[in-house]
Structure formats: structure tokens, C-alpha cells
Copies of this chain bind each other. A is one copy, B any other.
Amino acid sequence: MLGRLNHVALAVPDLAAAMAAYRDKLGARLSEPQALPEHGVTVVFVDVGNTKIELLEPLGDASPIAAFLEKNPSGGMHHVCYEVDDILAARDHLKASGARVLGDGNPKTGAHGKPVLFLHPKDFFGTLVELEQV
């Protein structure tokens, strides 16, 4: 059921400073910042060709990455997102196998406009896993 790595999300406290570091130190090609107020983040994509690296800065008062940045004020690796063909089948399989789906267990529309679920990091050894139906 697990498909491609869709993206790796890195939380940063200061997107402009992170963009400068990735561009000037690593020579990375970056997208323009995109504000996603309904998802509580501003995102910049780092072009690596085979997948997406997303630099996320909190946006608004109820950002889903605010608590992470409170615990990790410098920023850090926030989650990985894998693609699945059928997110409801994936969800049912996960629940039957004892994995915990965050929230009410129903897919939400993610930042790419596709259905997504987040899985409890305790079930995956400290890594927050997102699944996205593609």
C-alpha cells in the first residue's frame, strides 16, 4: 500500500532566513513562498527533482506546527508524507492493524488539495507519518 515519498516537511521559525540558508549555503533552487492560511503554514519548496522538500513556517494563531516549534525553537524535521492509491482502504487497514489515525479518523483535504491522514508518531517510532491519496 505504501507508495512514493511525496515530501519531507521541515519546520522553520523564520522562512526568509531558511530560504537564504538553503539558497546561499546549499545552492538550492527554491519556489516562491506560498501562504496557505487554511492550513496554518507558509510553504517554500526546495527543488530536489525526485521528491519535494517543504520548508514550513507557522501562519496564523492555530498553526499545526506551532507546538512543534515551541518544543524545537530552532526548527527541525516535522513529518514525512507517503503516497497511497486509496486512502480509505489505507485507513481501514491501519486501524485494523492497531495503528492510530490522528483526528477523527476521516481524511482531510491537505495542503496539495488531496485527501490526507496523519498517523500517530508513537506507532512509527517517533516519526510523524502523513499519507496522501494521489
Contact = CB atoms under 8 A, between A and B. Distances in A.
A122 B17 CA distance: 12
Contacts of A97: 24-25
Identical copies of this chain, number: 2
A125 B53 contact: no
Most buried by B among A3, A75, A80, A127: A127
Interface string A21-52: 11011111100000000000000001011110
Q: For chain A, which range describes its interface: under 10, 10 to 19, 20 to 34, or 35 or more residues?
A: 35 or more
A13 interface: yes
Contact of A5 (B53, B55, B93): B53
Contacts of A26: 1-2, 82, 94, 99, 124, 129
9 contacts: A3-B48, A4-B48, A5-B5, A10-B80, A17-B125, A25-B124, A74-B122, A75-B125, A76-B77
